[in-house]
Structure 1
Amino acid sequence: MSAAESSDLRPTLADVARAAGVSTATASRVLNGFPRVSPERRKQVESAMLALGYARQRAARAAPPPQTGSIALVVCEEALRLFTDPYFPRIAAGADRELSAVGMQLVLLTVPSTENYQGPVLRYLDGGHVDGALVVGMHGRRPLDLDWVDIPVVFGGRPVRQAESGRLSYVDVDNQGGARLATRHLLDAGRRTVATIAGPQDMTAGVDRLNGYRQAMVGGGRHDLGLVVFGDFGQASGEHATARLLDRRPDVDAIFAASDMMAVGALRALRRAGRDVPGDVAVIGFDDLPISRRTDPPLTTVRQPVEEMGARMTSELLAMIAGAAPRQRTVLDTRLVLRDSA
């Protein structure tokens, strides 16, 4: 047998990948010691290499991996919510600013509400279409199993499954501190029955803002479980939650809503109930969306730097695509913006 024929029979990296049941990109990452590979897949690849007798064929100079010039913005919400909640366009605007500077483009993906909601998204992300992904709006009830994706990923907000995702990179805002600041402002203004419309508890932003409210209430000696109602960060949920709250606790004189859109809904419900804002009930939101300046009265709110968040997520992702190790966590400051509603 000639040397050439013998060389043709040597197992290739593609053979290893097929035997391990993984993509060639995953097998390559294991071979090169790349950290973003799950222990299970690493073991599969190493076992296949041993079984096949794979020996790495070193080229004189390795060619860089092809780049698509695109990154994905994965929004874990229904498509309708994407176009009605200003938060997501603001994230996209910050991301696009960074990408435009380096000649790259943003590809939008939404996670469908189907039984196999993960399949199409993960196949696209792992199919060589994009160089990395930004993920926003993650819910605990419908997580994306991104451990199996062979591209860099940066989350907007702390991942829900923090114990499992501790090695992943994210950019967040100080949700807890901002909520605490808003609630203390209401208490310091002399409000005695301060309620909250909390966000979804399968999202870390919802959990952290509720915790910040509770910390301030306990610190002020006024914690009352009956003053907590829940919404989904959307306007309609804020309106319905406020109506329930007024039925349950007609003595409420202040509301901290965990999003501006829920605060807008609260203002509508209070107006319908004949309550003056801020005379009868003070209202504070969270986000500082453009609509907060146009409500009647203009909305006091907690400002989170959403565009900066999108830009920081993108700059972190671009660094990871270029080979830098992930910084893992960045937390941006929030601040209270005083207007006429509180």
Structure 2
Amino acid sequence: MTVSNVVNKRFGSMGKDVRAEVERAISELGYRPNASGRSLRLAKRFSIGMVVVDESPTFLADAFITRVVAGLSNYLSQRDYGLVVQGMSARTLPQSALVRRHETDALCVLMSGPASRRRRLLERLAKPGHPVVVLQDVGSDSDGVISIRQDDFGGARELAQHMLSRGGRDFVFMAPDVEWPAIEQRIAGVTSALQGDARSTFAVVNCADGGFSDSQAAIARYVAQSGWPNAIMGGNDQMGISALKWVIDQGLRVPEDILVSGFNAFDTWQYTQPMLTTVISPAYEMGASAGAAILDMLEGNLPSERHRLFPVKLQPGGST
């Protein structure tokens, strides 16, 4: 039992000399616990699944996803849990080994697609009864399901109000073709801010996968068809930076002729000239919070806060 307590970092009232003696013996013997045997004895796999419902094979290139995964993974690894990350389409999720075989103790899910489909998938995942944390969506009231998301609505609303105060009137919002709940909330936040200004206009431009070339092509098509807006809002920093560079390449001045913004503030926004106005995301902290909630639920403690909303922060830059 003493050896088990040392291996599992349950030091309690254990004396320093006893702990040091056990750790010295572990080192000399090269001892490592047998994970399979431990899982069988405790009826736990000591593994958490992270599922990203996204058709794109390069889902891990997304800066928001990588930070969520980093926060979740670092929290779990410090507590001797592993993390299995898989990207898959909505149609393959219900039959995936990660879901069908219960290969993990709990699931953390980040879903794209229409809201009705996301609800059906979440209901399917919650049925087996093991804990589920849904990220960037409202979740459900099912037992064993909690939601963790950032305030995309509030952040986008504050950003639009900031751009209104700088003279923004004709707004364009750049969005990927894939339906992400965060993008839906950002569009709703901008719409809310502009409702009080009768002079403003608002259009959403679909930018395919939101990559650099697709984003620039989308804003170029919009300008060719509808004329120049004087405020462009990227659904994320990548799209915002794409627009910023394209506008400058057309000979316009930012922010004198046109205001440009992004969203999430993941490193690259600081390297633009002028510096991009954006909104700071707590994605890493959200991942760590998801890990804490999952382990709490595995211990039988359902968090009192079933739907946690993380605040975001406006980061004004030279582009507005």
Q: Same fold (TM over 0.5)?
A: yes
Structure 2 SS opposite 1:287: coil
> Contact between 2:170 and 2:200, CA under 8 Å: does it hold in 1?
no
Q: Does the aligned pair in 1 maintain the 2:236–2:264 contact within 8 Å?
A: yes
Give the letter aligned to residue 235 of structure 1. G
Q: Is the 8 A contact 1:125 1:151 kept in 2?
A: no
Q: CA deviation at 1:283?
A: 0.7
Cα distance in 2 for partners of 1:180, 1:201 equals 22
Partner of 2:107: 133
Q: 2:125 aligns with which of 121, 127, 146?
A: 146
Q: In the alignment, residue 284 of structure 1 is paired with which amino acid?
A: S
SS at structure 2 position matched to 1:239: helix
| Equivalent of residue 316 in structure 1, options 293, 297, 300 | 293
Residue 334 (structure 1) aligned to one of 305, 312, 315 = 312
CA contact (8 A) 2:93 2:99 kept: no
Alpha-carbon distance between aligned partners in 1 of 2:157 and 2:141, rounded to the nearest angstrom = 25
**Matched residue of 1:340: which SS?**
coil
CA contact (8 A) 1:194 1:253 kept: yes
Give the direction of change, closer, same or farther, for the CA distance of 1:233–1:317 in structure 2 (3 Å limit).
farther
Q: 2:66 aligns with which of 89, 110, 128?
A: 89
Pairwise CA distance, 1:75: 1.1
* Correspondence 1:163-312 to 2 at 5 A: 165-167=140-142, 168-199=145-176, 202-225=179-202, 227-231=203-207, 234-236=210-212, 237-312=214-289
* Cα distance in 2 for residues equivalent to 1:328 and 1:138: 21
- 1:118 counterpart = 2:93: yes
Q: Which amino acid aligns with 1:146?
A: L
- CA distance in 1 between counterparts of 2:176 and 2:245 reads 18
Query: 1:201, CA displacement in angstroms?
Result: 7.4
Deviation at 1:65, TM superposition (A): 5.6
1:8-23 to 2 correspondences below 5 Å: none
Paired residues for 1:28-67 under 5 Å: 66-67=43-44
Q: Which secondary structure does the structure 1 equivalent of 2:141 belong to?
A: coil
Q: 1:148 deviation in Å?
A: 3.3
Question: Aligned in 2, Cα 1:219/1:314: closer, same or farther, shift over 3 Å?
Answer: same
CA change 1:79–1:202 in 2 (3 A) is: closer
Q: 1:285–1:302: 8 Å Cα contact kept in structure 2?
A: yes
SS in 1 for 2:75: helix
3-state SS in 2 of match to 1:221: coil
**Aligned counterparts of 2:316 and 2:174: Cα–Cα separation in 1:** 19
Percent identity for Structure 1 against Structure 2: 27
CA-to-aligned-CA distance 1:277-334 (integer Å, 9 cap, x gap): 2222111111001111112322110111110111111111111111112432000001
Contact 1:199–1:205 (8 Å) recurs in 2: no
Equivalent residue number for residue 75 of structure 1: 52
State the SS of the aligned residue for 2:57. helix
Shift in CA distance, 152/195, structure 1 to aligned 2, threshold 3 Å: same
Q: Which residue of 2 aligns with 1:98?
A: 75
How far apart, CA to CA, are the structure 1 residues paired with 2:191 and 2:76?
39
Please tell me the root mean square deviation across aligned C-alpha atoms, in Å: 2.4
Equivalent residue, structure 1, for 2:23:
none
**For residues 209 and 190 of structure 2, what CA distance do their matches in structure 1 show?**
16
Q: Provide the C-alpha distance between the structure 1 equivalents of 2:157 and 2:177, rounded to a whole number of angstroms.
A: 18
Q: How many residues align?
A: 272
Tell me, yes or no, if the aligned pair for 1:242 and 1:270 is still in contact at 8 Å. no
What letter corresponds to residue 93 of structure 2 in structure 1?
Q
Gaps of 5+ in 1: 1-62
Partners in 2 of 1:112 and 1:175 — Cα distance?
24
CA distance in 2, matches of 1:324, 1:260: 37
Query: What code does the residue aligned with 2:207 have?
Result: G
- Stretches of structure 2 that go unaligned for 5 or more consecutive residues are 1-39
Residues of 1 paired with 2:253 and 2:57: CA distance?
32
How much has 1:137 moved relative to structure 2? 3.5
